Amino acid sequence: MRTRITTLAAASAACAMLLLAGCASRPGRDIDGDLALYVAEPVRQRFAGTPRAEPLAAAPALDFFENRQELELKGNLGLISIVRQQAHANWQQGQLLLVTGSDVAREKIGDNNARARFRGLSLCGLVPVFSEYAVGMQVNRTLVMPIGAVFIPIEVTDDVYFSYRYRLSRFEGDPAKLCAPAPGASFAYRTETERQVKENGGRFARFNKQVTINDAVSCRAAPGLQPLSQITPGAKGSYLRVDCEHKDNIENLQRRSLAWVVDAGAYLPLEEVGWQGTIKTRYPRLGYTVGPAVVPAPPAPPAAPRTPTKPVATTVVLAASP
């Protein structure tokens, strides 16, 4: 039987794309409607009240990135899927980072594929505050149907749609330490989150489940900085590798490695190891915005010539796609 596993990405919808492999049977409760997305007031006050470190306030801001993610399941199945992701990042109040983008995924074995759009708000790229993903999958599988005394294989294609929502309800930790790690330093934090996965179509059993996850995280930074070109060929600057261990009541994510990009003051995921396997991420391109954001001039009346847009910012591409 052709594999029934398709995944999109850790950063986007890995759990949603693994529902066919058992994620749907994970602990959870049936609900109606969608999980409301907002920043809980205690969380907002805690995060937004922590200003960016002074050296980062005037530094170039991470504006966009493209990455390639590869998923290897546990066991001997090897490389399962490849994901290409494009995303744009914007700093909000304090240390809150808003990321929006889209994913395209394909299986290494079989011809299943998926597309997704996502947005998420996080504490400097490390602690998700809320996020939502809309995932469309095309799943190809083989069914064996009895026809008389003979079993005939039949190729079936299903269009399946998932949505995934995440909301942080409680946080314990020091945002200043998390968002400005020093070489060799250690830090820890705790979170309580609500997560929802919903199937909107397809021939599989439909569901809408929500689960509460309590996560204790301990992290340690590497002893020294490394060239950013190690993760983005040709890029200038440096990054600090940070390794984190997670212990939660679901045992979903076990270990995570991230790159704290010094100039941007934000984290980018490098590797995640959980119950489903290992997801590795590489970055062909990164870009910074120098100066204030570009604000287009309003359109002129139809009869009048269009007012030219005055550029007030410069986007610097650190590396081109290979």
List pLDDT tens digits, range 205-238. Answer: 577 888 899 999 999 999 999 999 999 988 888 9
Distance of CA 100 to the CA centre of its chain: 10
pTM attached to this predicted model:
0.75
DSSP codes, 203-250: SSPP-EEEEEEEEEEEEEE-SS-EEGGGTSTT--SEEEEEEEEEEESS
pLDDT for 57 equals 61
pLDDT tens-place string over residues 187-198: 999 999 999 888
pLDDT for 256 equals 94
Counting residues of the chain whose pLDDT is more than 90, the rounded percentage is: 25
Q: Of 169, 166, 154, nearest to 197 (Cα)?
A: 166
Residue with tokens 């290979």: 322
Tokens of 199: 């199937």
Instruction: Please calculate the CA angle 211-267-129 and round it to the nearest 5 degrees.
Output: 30
- 3 state SS of 303: coil
How high does pLDDT run on average in the chain?
74
DSSP codes, 108-141: SSSS-EEEEEEEEEEETTTEEEEEEEEEEEEEEE
Which stretches in the chain have pLDDT values below 70? 1-27, 48-49, 53-59, 74-81, 107-112, 138-143, 156, 200-205, 251-253, 290-322
Q: Of 151, 274, 160, nearest to 213 (Cα)?
A: 274
pLDDT tens-place string over residues 251-297: 666 899 999 998 888 999 999 988 778 888 989 888 877 644 433 33
pLDDT for 245 equals 95
**Cα 244 to Cα 80, 221, 262, distances in angstroms:** 24, 9, 18
Task: Please say whether the beta carbons of 253 and 246 come within 8 A.
Answer: yes
Pairwise CA distance, residues 38 & 126, whole Å: 18
pLDDT for 153 equals 77
- For residue 114, the cross-strand partners are 105, 137
